[in-house]
A and B are shown apart, each in its own frame.
Chain A
Amino acid sequence: MATDPLVLDGLDAFYGDSHVLHDLSLRVRAGGVLGLLGRNGAGKSTCIGSIVGLVRAKAREMTLYGEPIQGLSPERISQKGVGVVPQGRRIFPSLTVHENLTVAARTPSREGWRGWSLEDAFSAFPRLEERRRQFAGSLSGGEQQMLAIGRALMTGPRLLLLDEPSEGLAPQIVAEVARVLKELSRTGLSIVLVEQNVKLAMEVADDVVILNNGRVAHAGPVESIQTDGELVEQLLGVY
């Protein structure tokens, strides 16, 4: 459907001469959560980088709500409504917590705006409000992850991409991230969730795509991997 939040069809991605993603296709349904899984080095972050315009990519189709985004700059793609929580969080360390949020903020413009205001960010993550005047570089890993999520939502995304948001976090923080993701999904936000934590992905995702060596190795509803332990074992390693 032309109104799908994200359609990638036949995508190839490159770092210089090295060809990393091959003929990758996937689709995010409106209001759905797509879990993007795969071992280390499978190409998940490269896929995210291609969508946001940081990695050189070619595709037969690459559309956001039916609008082509291929070849646009990262700024333009962001303005069209793609929010990102990057791997490793990458908050702006020398800006305060408050500045990290406001620097990304956009005024509600679009129909069906689901972006956050500062108040929304602070009510979702009260810890951030306590530390609002602190430099973001001084936050703990979990706090930085909350900040990265808050920052992405301040841009008012129609599609949210998260790259391993549970990486390196304590279990109770992972649970908090999961809670926020489910809430966001319930408000109808469309999400791509890259995860190594298969349990978290199964808890949140509606559909899954598993990458292996830069190719789609499996795609289907989340139930398709819940029931097939062998497949998970083979494509995702020990779990």
Chain B
Amino acid sequence: MNFWVIQGLNGLAFGSLLFILAAGFSLIFGLMRVANLAHGAFFMLGAYVGLSAIDNGMNFWVAILIGGLTVCVLGGVMEGLILRRLAGQPLAQVLVTLGIAFIIADGCLWLWSGDPRPLPMPSELQGVLRFGGLIFPKYRLFVVVVAVCLAGALWLLLERSRVGAMIRAGVDDMEMARVMGIRTSLLFPLVFCLGSALAGAGGVLAGPILSVYPSMDTDMLPMALVVVILGGVGSLGGAFVGALVIGFIYSYGQALVPDLAYVILFLPMVLVLTIRPTGLFGRRLV
């Protein structure tokens, strides 16, 4: 009994991290049709930057801010200087993001060396909460709360604000959005920076659970891809459900059949795509 609850909470916490990672990826892909393969590297870079901030005496919350901002700026620069010039050439764009992922990965290895480093959690979130006979680490509960709040905030932004409607109009029909005077040239960097900032801040948030280590990027990117493909590209609700599903599967899979962890991770994706090519909640993309 205890095993299922503990692993369930672990799954929930891991799924929450996946959502923070995948939401940005999905947002960027939905609007710009750019599969940003540097998204995992952004996540790792954020974690390392946060680690250095803490090493330099800053507290955890400032570290999240700095990790998020750094990656936000990097994402903005990448969009403005490189991706924009390659508009309409999706293959070139994807290859560029892959190249940048490698550059970031090597840069991190060079700057922070290859040893895994734990990222200390804030003192106020250390320790556990007890319900009945069960024990919940406070920090994991906190991560879940953050993900739920983020989902709510993104939903409000996308579904209930005018800027959100403009973004969705651009997703629907880019040319017509422009012809109606919607300045997609401003929306693109906005969305790209937001998605990147989420990856960077998410990396710092993940640090206390996952530690910070050199292959963090290549561990996380495939998971984000699975989440987005499972839930449906460009769908926020899909990313949320997909992240929780994958979080649970990963958590129980690791504990029960560690040798088959990848099989049970990717099998649901293959099955869903076979039955429903747009993912669970996907809308068709023109």
Contacts and interface: CB of A to CB of B under 8 A. Distances in A.
A155 B172 contact: no
A235 interface: no
Contacts of A94: 168, 171-172, 283
Contacts of A90: 173, 175-176
A103 B173 CA distance: 13
Contacts of A33: none
Contacts of B182: 75, 103-104
B165 A95 contact: yes
Interface string A78-93: 1100001010001011
B91 interface: no
A73 B182 CA distance: 11
A116 B29 CA distance: 34
Given A75-B185, A92-B172, A92-B173, A103 B165 contact: yes
A152 B181 CA distance: 10
A102 interface: yes
Interface in A87-120: 90, 92-95, 99-100, 102-104, 106
A86 B173 CA distance: 12
B183 interface: yes
Contacts of B183: 75
B85 interface: no
A54 B283 CA distance: 26
Contacts of B185: 73, 75
Contacts of B179: 52-54, 74, 78, 84, 86
Interface string B154-193: 0000000010011011011101111111111100000000
Interface in B75-109: none
Instruction: Name the residue among A99, A102, A106 with the largest chain B CB count within 10 angstroms.
Output: A99
Given A74-B175, A90-B173, A95 B168 contact: yes
A80 to B, nearest CB: 9
Interface string A146-158: 0000011001000
Contacts of B165: 95, 99, 102-103
Binding site of B, secondary structure by majority: helix, strand, loop or mixed? helix
B157 to A, nearest CB: 14
Instruction: Name the residue among B172, B177, B181, B283 with the largest chain A CB count within 10 angstroms.
Output: B181
A35 to B, nearest CB: 21
Given A92-B168, A103-B166, A78 B181 contact: yes
Interface string B174-218: 011111111111000000000000000000000000000000000
Contact of B181 (A54, A86, A93, A155): A155
Contact of B169 (A53, A78, A92, A155): A92
B181 A75 contact: yes
Contacts of A92: 168-169, 172-173, 176-177
A54 B173 CA distance: 13
Nearest to B183: A75
Contacts of A93: 172
Interface in B60-81: none
A157 to B, nearest CB: 10
23 contacts: A54-B175, A73-B185, A74-B175, A75-B181, A75-B184, A75-B185, A78-B179, A79-B181, A84-B179, A86-B176, A86-B179, A90-B175, A94-B172, A95-B169, A95-B172, A99-B165, A99-B169, A103-B166, A103-B169, A103-B182, A104-B181, A106-B181, A155-B181
Task: Give me the 4 closest cross-chain CB pairs, A-B, nearest first.
Answer: A78-B181, A74-B178, A92-B172, A104-B180
Interface of A: 52-54, 73-75, 78-79, 84, 86, 90, 92-95, 99-100, 102-104, 106, 151-152, 155
